[in-house]
Structure 1
Amino acid sequence: MSQVFEGYERQYCELSANLSKKITSATLLDGEHKKQKVSDIKGGLEDAEALIRKMDLEARSLPPSVKATLLVKLREYKTDLNNLKTEVKRITSSNANHAARDDLLESGMADTQMASADQRGRLLMSTERLNQSSDKIRESRRTMLETEELGVSILQDLSQQRQSLLHAHNSLHGVDDNISKSKKILTNMSRRMSRNKWIIGSIIAVLVIAIILILYFKLTH
């Protein structure tokens, strides 16, 4: 929830409770004292209207999911303000006599004040529930951010591991190339050794034949 809206809301609730007390005390006054009290109450009503306009502007500037909830609360505050205005009109009516004011104080005013008190109680309960919901939303958002940070950390670790695997793969590829080259060299050496064996064997065979021929000629002559 918007902190700006919550600030206006607290100011309105305090002002509404104060106006309700002033209206109750004004019903017990007469003459100039009553006029001064009513004038003071009307000034408070103007301040309350200004706060409601500010809350309305703030609520309409917020995202739709939040705005809908705040507009519901705002309608309740507007109803509460209208009730306060009605109470002021009743105590300032020039056609009402002293007996009517007493009856109004004992019956209608008491009922109206009770209804207003009940309504303000409901408003405060609704405000408390919304504040609790806001706390849960903030907690969920904090958990989401922590999860996001953990996910980013895991991705960074996986990226580093991928780089390590690629480096190891390149190293193994280089080793495989060296092994292939070494294998070719050993194959060539083996071929040369085989060829040299045949050459040496041929030379030995020629020498043996030559020795045999020499001995034969010596023995026969």
Structure 2
Amino acid sequence: MDETPTGLFDAYHGDFEHIIQGVKNKLDKEVLEQYGEQRKATLRRVEIELDEADDLVSQLEIEVQGIPASIRPQYAARLKQSKIDMNRLKRVAKDMHAKVSRGELLGPGGSFARSDDPYDDERTTLLAGTHILTDGSRRLDNATRIALETETLGADILRNLAEDRERIENSRDTLQRADTSIDRASKTLKNMIRQMYKQRFILSGLGVVLVIVVLVILYFKLIRH
């Protein structure tokens, strides 16, 4: 599996598309061909699959943040379209589920009938409110999970920065010690050079003295003799 941000995004998006296509098939075909408990069971599976799709969308939101800015817009557009598709299917599923809960689904014909019960609107509102609360709770859980993951990532980044700072400070100390050692070595070399020139001067003086002594000896030996 490609572990790069784009590779992970594509993998999660592929899983999302597979789930969404299955939901579409159930809502557009299977639910309309079923009735009774079989239809309710299909709608329950739809809800489970939409929850999985919602989790994948949350993961896509995380992965898109790690994609390079130069290509991020095209992936952000795919994420936006995924949210639109998922929300549309959620509305359709909620509407069908509400009608099933009210007992408004007919038999094998698969069509939806209107009820004359004066409390239908109130029950529909209550059911819709329950679904909204459930959906809101799930989204809050996802947001909390994302916040915790972001907090953990931030802590890791801060820890890495602290380690990098420590390494830089250690390197700076090492350079300072090396600079001090170089200064000491430079002073030592200068002293050695001065000593060398001093020794050369002394040796040169001794050489001149020896030459003079030799000349004086020769003078007295050869000329004054």
TM-score, normalisation: structure 1: 0.47
Query: More helix by proportion, 1 or 2?
Result: 1
TM-score, normalisation: structure 2: 0.46
Greater Rg, structure 1 or structure 2?
1
